[in-house]
């Protein structure tokens, strides 16, 4: 589906009351009402005191857009090219695991909504449903695969090969989560979805994983969960291990979780194809730098040689504009679509993503920008006060 230039009509034609909240903050409140405490706080929460989660938002407020007038914004084109493919908008759905704890449709609902809107869906290794099943419900729609680089190299290689076979267009390797952070909500609630066997669908269906078990997981789920817990992450990985990935996939490889410009340089040196600047939505290192503050230095280090994407804290169209102006090629959004899923499955995700695109489209036009090429640092000023 394309909004094209008719986005305003899409928006204002619907005089009836919106089926789901439009405001992100209300979406969170409604999701709190419908979800059990464990899953809600698992999704909404972050690491430690959640200072980084708040810093992500504050960093957006530190920048302000300076709109331009009389620039004929009647024809707008926000297409972006990434790794040889063209996407209508510089937006992707971030990899989010265990979506079955949010809604029975799980990742299938989110992936179908993404497919309808032609927004690329990044399927998590920790999905409830297998990557093949997600691919099947998406048809030809664009999708990437996020790899949790298992300690069991046979499993890591097998996941990479399966993703390529199932039509995923890029591999996102998440580096910031070789283990779960100190997440106080989850410890308080005594809630960890994986220990209930949630989010390990990609492993249960994996031949390399199954080969390591003494019995099929269908007869002994406990053994499978224990083995999963042993191999999920690998905290001993180094930059020297990256050739392993290249050996097992021909797809473009992006590294997710880069925050330091020195790491961006190392990524380039190792022939990586793209970077996602991310602090995992404030869920890993509490006290870590806000993503928007990390973005500029990483973009400067990369000097346009490979695409730099970002996520963590994108909530509205203006946030997207600020990230793109500071040099991101595209952004990813996590919690907003997950709360949409909580309220209405596929329908709820469609609502959230459409609204975000509509907001972006309108805000771009009103600020005088008709293409992504219009965005650069000169359209922003540092705010002289914060509205908190
Ligand atoms: C419930 C939840 C599960 C997540 N699971 C994964 C995952 O499996 N793999 C991954 O790379 N990132 C995962 N992330 C991080 C997201 O990809 C993304 O970095 C983050 O949500 C972006 O911040 P935002 O939620 O503020 O948009 C998860 C985030 C949430 C909220
Ligand atoms: O919760 C997360 O942030 C996350 O990245 C994750 C990791 C493993 C399984 C599910 C989600």
pLDDT tens per residue across span 55-79: 999 999 999 999 999 999 999 999 9
Q: Note down the domain range covering 53.
A: 27-369
Asked if residue 8 is part of any domain, the answer here is no
Q: Is 95 in the pocket of ligand 1 (CB under 6 A)?
A: yes
Residue of 127, 316, 334, 337 with the most ligand 1 atoms within 8 Å of its CB, for mutation: 334
Asked if residue 385 is part of any domain, the answer here is no
The CATH code of the domain that includes 220 is: 3.20.20.70
Give the confidence band of 13 by pLDDT, cuts at 50, 70, 90: low
Identify which ligand lies nearest to the alpha carbon of 179: 2
CA–centroid distance, residue 179 to ligand 2 (Å): 9
Q: Is 334 in the pocket of ligand 1 (CB under 6 A)?
A: yes
Q: Is 311 marked as a binding-site residue? A: yes
Question: To the nearest whole percent, how much of the chain has pLDDT over 70?
Answer: 95
Asked if residue 14 is part of any domain, the answer here is no
> Which residues have CB under 6 Å of ligand 2?
97-98, 126, 177, 194, 199, 280, 283
For atom 8 of ligand 2, the residue with the nearest CA is 126
Asked if residue 67 is part of any domain, the answer here is yes
Cα separation, 175 vs 51, in Å, equals 21
Q: Which of 373, 374, 254 is nearest to 307 (CA)?
A: 254
CA–centroid distance, residue 95 to ligand 2 (Å): 9
Residue 260 falls in the annotated catalytic set: no
Where are the alpha helices (H) located in the chain, listed in sequence order? 7-12, 24-34, 37-44, 51-61, 106-117, 131-138, 153-165, 184-189, 201-204, 207-210, 221-231, 243-248, 261-269, 291-302, 317-325, 335-366
Q: Is 313 marked as a binding-site residue? A: yes
Question: To the nearest whole percent, how much of the chain has pLDDT over 90?
Answer: 92
CA–centroid distance, residue 367 to ligand 1 (Å): 30
Asked if residue 11 is part of any domain, the answer here is no
Residue of 98, 122, 159 with the most ligand 2 atoms within 8 Å of its CB, for mutation: 98
pLDDT of residue 230: 96
Cα separation, 298 vs 260, in Å, equals 7
Task: Please count the structural domains in the chain.
Answer: 1
CA–centroid distance, residue 65 to ligand 2 (Å): 34
Asked if residue 388 is part of any domain, the answer here is no
Q: What is the mean pLDDT of residues 129-133?
A: 98
Asked if residue 375 is part of any domain, the answer here is no
How much is the mean pLDDT over the chain?
Answer: 95
Give the confidence band of 307 by pLDDT, cuts at 50, 70, 90: very high
- List b or e across 96-118, with b for residues whose CB sees 16 or more CB atoms inside 10 angstroms: bbbbbbbbebbbbbbbbbbbbbe
Give the confidence band of 2 by pLDDT, cuts at 50, 70, 90: very low
Instruction: Indicate whether this model's pTM tops 0.80.
Output: yes
Q: What is the mean pLDDT of residues 43-58?
A: 98
Asked if residue 10 is part of any domain, the answer here is no
Q: What is the ipTM of this complex?
A: 0.99
Residue of 173, 281, 310 with the most ligand 1 atoms within 8 Å of its CB, for mutation: 281
Q: Is 333 in the pocket of ligand 1 (CB under 6 A)?
A: yes
């Amino acid at each position: 589906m394309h909004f094209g230039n008719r986005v305003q009509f899409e928006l204002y034609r619907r005089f009836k009351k919106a089926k789901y909240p439009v405001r992100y903050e209300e979406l969170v409140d409604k999701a709190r009402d419908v979800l059990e405490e464990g899953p809600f706080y698992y999704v909404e929460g972050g690491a430690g005191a959640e200072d980084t989660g708040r810093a992500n938002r504050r960093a957006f407020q530190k920048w302000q857009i300076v709109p331009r007038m009389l620039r004929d914004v009647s024809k707008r084109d926000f297409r972006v090219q990434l790794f040889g493919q063209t996407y209508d908008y510089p937006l992707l759905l971030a990899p989010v695991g265990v979506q079955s704890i949010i809604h029975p449709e799980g990742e299938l609902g989110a992936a179908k909504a993404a497919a309808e809107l032609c927004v690329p869906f990044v399927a998590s290794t920790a999905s409830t449903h297998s990557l093949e099943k997600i691919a099947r419900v998406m048809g030809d729609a664009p999708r990437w695969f996020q790899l949790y680089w298992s300690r069991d190299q046979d499993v890591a290689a097998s996941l990479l090969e399966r993703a390529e076979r199932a039509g995923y267009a890029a591999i996102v390797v998440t580096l910031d989560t070789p283990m779960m952070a100190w997440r106080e909500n989850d410890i308080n609630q005594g809630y960890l979805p994986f220990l209930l066997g949630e989010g390990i669908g990609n492993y249960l269906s994996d031949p390399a994983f199954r080969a390591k078990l003494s019995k099929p997981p269908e007869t002994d789920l406990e053994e499978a969960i224990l083995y999963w817990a042993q191999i999920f992450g690998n905290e001993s990985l180094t930059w020297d291990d990256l050739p392993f990935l290249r050996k097992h996939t021909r797809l473009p490889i992006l590294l997710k979780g880069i925050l330091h410009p020195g790491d961006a340089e190392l990524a380039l040196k190792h022939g990586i194809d793209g970077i996602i600047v991310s602090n995992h939505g404030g869920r890993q290192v509490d006290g870590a730098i806000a993503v928007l503050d990390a973005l500029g230095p990483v973009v400067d280090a990369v000097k346009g040689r490979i695409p730099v994407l970002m996520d963590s804290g994108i909530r509205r169209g203006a946030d997207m504009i600020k990230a793109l102006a500071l040099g991101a090629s595209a952004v990813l959004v996590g919690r907003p679509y997950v709360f949409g899923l909580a309220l209405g499955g596929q329908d709820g995700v469609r609502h959230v993503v459409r609204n975000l695109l509509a907001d972006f489209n309108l805000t771009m036009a009103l600020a005088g920008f008709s293409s992504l090429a219009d965005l650069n640092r000169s359209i922003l000023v540092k705010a002289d006060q914060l509205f908190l």
